[in-house]
Amino acid sequence: MVQTLPEGELIWGVAVLADEVYVLRPKGFDDIEVYDVITYRLQRCLTVPDAHGFADMTVCRRCRCLYIVDPIAVCIHNLSLHGHATRWPVKDKPYGISVNGALNVLVACPAVRKIEEYSSRGDFLREMTLPDAVVSPWHAIQLTSGQFVVCHGEADDPVHGVSMLSADGRHIVHSHGGHPGPDAGQYSVPRHLAVDDNEFVFVADVNNRRVTLLSPTLEYVRQVVSPDELKWRPRRLCLDAQTWRLYVADNEWKDGKYSAGRVVVLSV
């Protein structure tokens, strides 16, 4: 462990762009805390205008902006680093978000088992209905091959795992997981992903309180973050491939809801 950022409201997203770390918290104002990537000191805050709720956040390095998921307003907010904001509607209730190599925005919609793709301006491009075995897809990342890595499984679902899908989203190419459980080959609500430049996959395993590393063909490699390194439960990941720092949103579950959060910074 390298550092922990301050405890506060629960965290819905963490991202790194240039020399800054962005942390998304639902406060109604100053929703995004911006920290220096070296000193981890708070630099400033950004507000997401007209936000109704949050679910995830990612960055586009080329466009130098943040994309924030609003599942209540059923939209994506586009926020520049200077605070200029726009937004666009999405077809289905969104959850996880990522940006692919074409700079398009990928949105995972767990209730309808779809990945939806939008341009950086919010134009709808396509949707992919996922195979029957991929229930409750929380987060999807597109690889350089065009294939997708998706984590999936809610508490009551029969299968909790990570799947690699064909470029059209119709077929499972590789998978890891199965019945929910605590063993190395199992998950209990895998909620978020990060992928490095060699396409190794980091998986936030919420209820098992760990982060698992998988090979590019989704074979188990090792546990990179253990329960001993977390205070609560990991729900969001961000990998800075230049510094090999993994940012883990560690949120407290108390009295049946998430009530607080912090970011744990680890060297991987």
Tens of pLDDT, residues 96-141: 999 999 999 999 999 999 999 999 999 999 999 999 999 999 999 9
pLDDT the model gives residue 42 = 97
Mind giving me the DSSP string for 27-64? -SSS-EEEEETTT--EEEEE--TT-----EEEEETTTT
Calculate the CA dihedral of residues 47, 50, 53, 59 and round it to 10 degrees: -50
Whether the predicted pLDDT of 234 surpasses 90 = yes
Reading the block at residue 261, the tokens are 């959060």
- Tell the residue number behind the tokens 């969001």, with chain if given: 236
Provide the residue ranges of all domains of the chain, joining segments of one domain with +: 3-267
d(CA 35, CA 20): 6
| Higher per-residue confidence, 83 vs 220 | 220
What is the rounded CA–CA span in Å between residue 233 and residue 206? 5
Pairing mode of beta strands 201-205, 32-36: unpaired
Picking from 226, 151, 164, the residue whose alpha carbon sits closest to that of residue 192 is 151
**H or E stretch covering 240:** strand 233-240
Contact 142, 169 (CB under 8 A): no
Q: How do residues 168-218 score in pLDDT, each as one tens digit?
A: 999 999 999 999 999 999 999 999 999 999 999 999 999 999 999 999 999
Q: How much is the pLDDT for 145?
A: 96
Return the pLDDT at 56: 98
For residue 147, the model assigns a pLDDT of 98
Q: Which CATH number fits domain 3-267: 1.10.260.40, 2.120.10.30, 2.60.120.1600, 3.40.470.10?
A: 2.120.10.30
Q: How far apart are CA 88 and CA 48, in angstroms?
A: 13
Query: Residue 241: pLDDT band by 50, 70, 90 thresholds?
Result: confident
Q: Is the pLDDT of residue 255 over 90?
A: no
Can you read off the two tokens belonging to residue 86?
């726009």
- 26-72 tens-digit pLDDT: 988 899 999 999 999 999 999 999 999 999 999 999 899 999 999 99
**CA atoms of 14 and 22, how far apart (whole Å):** 6
* Cβ atoms of residues 11 and 249 within 8 Å: yes
State the average pLDDT over residues 5-24.
Answer: 95
Give the model's pLDDT for residue 254: 85
User: What is the structure's pLDDT at 258?
Assistant: 84
Query: What's the confidence (pLDDT) of residue 212?
Result: 98
Q: Which of 240, 155, 250, 150 is nearest to 203 (CA)?
A: 150
| pLDDT above 90 (res 83) | no
The CA distances from residue 64 to 20, 81, 87, in Å, are 12, 7, 16
Please report, to the nearest 10 degrees, the dihedral formed by the alpha carbons of residues 234, 150, 202, 64 taken in order. Answer: -90
Q: What is the chain's alpha carbon radius of gyration, rounded to the nearest angstrom?
A: 17
Rounded-to-integer distance, Cα 118 and Cα 106, Å: 7
Q: Please check the confidence at residue 24 and state whether its pLDDT lies above 80.
A: yes
pTM over 0.75: yes
What's phi and psi for 34, nearest 5 deg? -115, 120
